[in-house]
């Protein structure tokens, strides 16, 4: 099945995106390596887990530990060694967010604004500064979004197979990749792209993802389902109850208060603009995941962060549209505001990661 439309995509602003990625790397080289106080407690736990490789652990699947084992074998276990990959994945997320804007028809301005929002995002700055499964997750979600956009934009149905494999890798990294799959299902059902559900392709992708995830399920079954017990205890004793207002405030801090208008404007633009209508499945993905986490009453602030790239990209398209139609010269001001606000919140350590 071919998509019902195609988009004339502008060139990728490689120099701009790679320049922003290098800025991201420089930030982490300074804060995570040169000026770091020492290992984070979670990093010590991960390093110890490398000595006990298995198909699962009490609080997460095995991929991040297997990757860390490879990193330690190649580079050692110094701070720069184990924090290099999170920094590289964070820089790649900046580039991917800009490319997302381009896939949605955005030019240089849209790509730059979207990538800058990802660069300055306080929760990304925090989580890319030390080793955990979170930087891997934040890299995989925008890759999955790009694959979805490519499918919607007229790509081969075989991209569904790639998406299934990527989601399988994501599930072996963190169980929350299920939210991506569930949000995508909602996005397909609520848009004309539901036509794909009448084909075997998305179902085959789901089978591939779950097959890849099955070793971790088997490991849990062999050990009396420790992950479920851990999740219940964490929700009750570690996270505690969170009101809707608290959830929203924490999301504002996580994406950066000055980026909130960009994200809200982009989300509204995605639901109202004819040019972005084909890409509403991903807008619905963001809304569905946000609604699920808010309704749970026990979601930590960074849980929604992997879904930020789609609203950053839509926000970039929105800013570019306003600048083009109204000949507004405030795009540099938007960029400065997003960057400054994000860095200030990150430096203040106001987010709970």
* DSSP assignments along 159-176, one per residue: HHHHHHHHHHHHHHH-TT
Give 32 or 115, the one with higher predicted confidence: 115
Domain membership of residue 66 (yes or no) is no
Domain membership of residue 119 (yes or no) is yes
Hunting for tokens 């959830």 — which residue is that? Answer: 247
Q: What is the pLDDT of residue 348?
A: 46
Q: Is the pLDDT of residue 3 over 80?
A: no
Q: Residue 272: count other Cβ atoms within 10 Å of its Cβ.
A: 10
pTM: 0.90
Residue spans of alpha helices (H) in the chain:
14-28, 41-49, 63-75, 79-103, 108-120, 122-127, 134-152, 159-173, 177-189, 201-222, 226-233, 244-255, 260-272, 280-296, 308-326, 331-348
**Total domain count for the chain?**
1
Instruction: Assess contact for 341 and 257: CB atoms under 8 A.
Output: yes
| CA end-to-end span of the chain | 42
Domain membership of residue 186 (yes or no) is yes
Domain membership of residue 33 (yes or no) is no
Looking at every residue in the chain, the average pLDDT score rounds to 87
Instruction: Assess contact for 183 and 291: CB atoms under 8 A.
Output: no
Q: In the structure encoding, which two tokens stand for residue 183, read together?
A: 């949000």
Q: Residues 27, 312, 303, 336: what is their CA dihedral angle, to the nearest 10 degrees?
A: 40
Question: CB under 8 Å to 327, separation ≥6 — which residues?
Answer: none
Instruction: Assess contact for 45 and 63: CB atoms under 8 A.
Output: no
Domain membership of residue 28 (yes or no) is no
- CA dist., res. 239 & res. 231, Å (int): 10
Domain membership of residue 118 (yes or no) is yes
Instruction: Determine which of 112-116, 197-201, 333-337 has the lowest per-residue pLDDT on average.
Output: 333-337
- CA dist., res. 134 & res. 175, Å (int): 11
Domain membership of residue 3 (yes or no) is no
Q: What is the pLDDT of residue 330?
A: 47
Q: What is the pLDDT of residue 202?
A: 96
Instruction: Assess contact for 126 and 346: CB atoms under 8 A.
Output: yes
Domain boundaries, position 223: 95-127+134-348
Instruction: Determine which of 1-10, 119-128, 255-264 has the lowest per-residue pLDDT on average.
Output: 1-10
Report DSSP state, residue 35. Answer: S
Q: What is the pLDDT of residue 37?
A: 79
Give the phi and the psi of residue 156 in degrees, each rounded to 5.
Answer: -65, 145
Domain membership of residue 54 (yes or no) is no
% of the chain residues with pLDDT over 90: 61
Sort residue 189 into left (φ over 0), alpha (ψ -120 to 50) or beta. Answer: alpha
C-alpha angle 25/30/32, rounded to 5°? 85
What is the arithmetic mean of pLDDT over 24-39?
83
Question: Can you give the C-alpha Rg of the chain in angstroms?
Answer: 20
What is the arithmetic mean of pLDDT over 124-151?
94
Instruction: Determine which of 115-124, 235-244, 286-295, 315-324 has the lowest per-residue pLDDT on average.
Output: 235-244
At residue 325 the predicted structure's pLDDT band, cuts being 50, 70 and 90, is low
CA separation (Å) from 254 to 111, 138, 348?
A: 21, 13, 12
Sort residue 327 into left (φ over 0), alpha (ψ -120 to 50) or beta. Answer: left
- CA dist., res. 258 & res. 253, Å (int): 9
- CA dist., res. 23 & res. 273, Å (int): 32
Question: CB under 8 Å to 33, separation ≥6 — which residues?
Answer: 79, 80, 83
């Amino acid at each position: 099945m071919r998509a019902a439309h195609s988009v004339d995509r502008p060139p990728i602003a490689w120099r701009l995106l790679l320049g922003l990625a290098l800025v991201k790397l420089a930030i982490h080289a300074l804060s995570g390596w040169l000026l770091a106080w020492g290992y984070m407690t979670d990093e010590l736990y991960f390093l110890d887990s490398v000595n006990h490789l298995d198909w699962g652990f009490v609080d997460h699947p095995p991929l991040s530990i297997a990757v860390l084992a490879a990193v330690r074998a190649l580079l050692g276990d110094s701070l720069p060694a184990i924090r290099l990959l999170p920094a590289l994945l964070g820089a790649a997320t900046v580039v991917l967010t800009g490319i997302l804007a381009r896939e949605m028809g955005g030019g240089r301005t849209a790509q730059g604004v979207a990538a800058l929002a990802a660069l300055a995002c306080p929760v990304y700055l925090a989580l890319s500064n030390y080793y955990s499964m979170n930087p891997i997750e934040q890299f995989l979600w925008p890759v999955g979004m790009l694959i979805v956009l490519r499918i919607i934009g007229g790509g081969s149905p075989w991209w569904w197979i790639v998406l299934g494999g990527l989601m399988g890798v994501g599930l072996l990294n963190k169980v929350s990749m299920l939210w991506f799959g569930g949000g995508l299902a909602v996005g397909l059902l609520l848009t004309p792209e539901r036509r794909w559900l009448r084909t075997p392709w998305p179902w085959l992708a789901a089978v591939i993802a779950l097959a890849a995830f099955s070793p971790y399920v088997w490991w849990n079954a062999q050990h009396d389902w420790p992950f479920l017990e851990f999740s219940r205890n964490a929700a009750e004793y570690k996270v505690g109850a969170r009101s809707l207002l608290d959830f929203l405030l924490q999301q504002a801090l996580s994406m950066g208060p000055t980026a909130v208008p960009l994200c809200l404007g982009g989300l509204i633009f995605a639901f109202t603009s004819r040019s972005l209508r084909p890409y509403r499945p991903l807008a619905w993905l963001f809304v569905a995941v946000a609604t699920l986490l808010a309704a749970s009453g026990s979601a930590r602030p960074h849980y929604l962060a992997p879904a930020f790239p789609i609203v950053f990209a839509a926000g970039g398209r929105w800013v570019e549209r306003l600048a083009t139609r109204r000949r507004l010269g405030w795009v540099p001001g938007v960029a400065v505001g997003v960057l400054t606000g994000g860095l200030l919140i990150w430096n203040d350590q106001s987010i709970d990661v």
